[in-house]
Amino acid sequence: MMQHQPIASPESFTTERLCQRMLERHRDVIRVQKDHLAVRKLVKIVTAALDLSSRLGFHAMSLRDLSRESGVSMGGLYSYFDSKTTLLSMILTEVGVTATEVLGQAPADVRADPRRHLDWLIDTHIRLTEVMQPWFVFAFMEAKAFPQPARKMAVDSEEATEKIFAEALRLGAGRGLFQAGNPELTAALIKPLLQDWYVKRAKYRRRGIAIGDYVAAVSAFVSAALGDRPAVQP
């Protein structure tokens, strides 16, 4: 608990840690008091919820399904949320907060160089969504079913990410590194390239494309589009 925590890298976001953060954030709703018990069950519940939702969608998942799959009784579930919709919001919140937090944490020296910053953003985004794949798919697919406040948060989180990209592009264009006539539009086009990795994860797995290949491909694709000449031996 008190141990020193390194700067959060994508890999550090295990389900366990995410559920810990979830517990802290929703202490008012979660009625179980002992942390170690609460986290242990939360992991079971959230894991089952993400799994069931990914198969048929959150709405199609009944709480009886969730109870069976997680091994927590119907009544027990309601010690962790006060409605099915609250569970939805809790998961989404965690995704939004984490994404914004991680992507805003580029080291100063990386941020100073727009070219490196862009590569760092691409790499970090893809690696984070790889580690939290079920979470991100959930947020992406169920976003429309959110209650108003959570929904706005999802949109804001998406826009925040795009802003970070647009800022790096603008800075790079200002220094004559990129041809980015319209940084906002270019950032908007980079986003779906990153999202495809988790939205269509099964496709890339089927084709045997590893995460490193994908990062490299997106990175090359983007920098070529920006007018960066690919690195060649002199």
Partner DNA sequence: ATAATAAAATCGAACGCTCGCTCGATTTTG
Partner DNA sequence: CAAAATCGAGCGAGCGTTCGATTTTATTAT
Residue 140 phi/psi, 5° resolution? -65, -45
Nearer to a copy of itself, 4 or 229 (CB): 229
- For the bound state, the minimum distance from the C-beta of residue 212 to a copy of itself, rounded and expressed in Å, comes to 13
Nearer to DNA, 57 or 107 (CB): 57
Distance CA(153)–CA(158), nearest Å, equals: 9
Q: Which of 21, 29, 54, 78 binds DNA (CB under 7 A)?
A: 78
Q: Which of residues 13-72 bind DNA (CB under 7 A)?
A: 31-34, 36-38, 41, 61-65, 71-72
Contacting positions for a copy of itself (CB under 8 A): 54-57, 59-60, 141-142, 144-145, 179, 182, 184-186, 188-189, 191-193, 195-196, 199-200, 203-204, 207, 209, 213, 217-218, 220-222, 224-227, 230
Distance CA(217)–CA(131), nearest Å, equals: 19
Distance CA(214)–CA(196), nearest Å, equals: 10
- For the bound state, the minimum distance from the C-beta of residue 3 to DNA, rounded and expressed in Å, comes to 21
Q: Which of 82, 113, 167, 184 binds DNA (CB under 7 A)?
A: 82
**CA 21 to each of CA 8, 12, 37, 160: distance values in angstroms, whole numbers, following the listed order:** 13, 13, 14, 21
| Torsion from C-alpha of 46, 48, 49, 51, nearest 10 degrees | 120
| Three-state DSSP state, 161 | helix
Q: Which residues contact DNA by CB under 7 A?
A: 31-34, 36-38, 41, 61-65, 71-79, 82-85
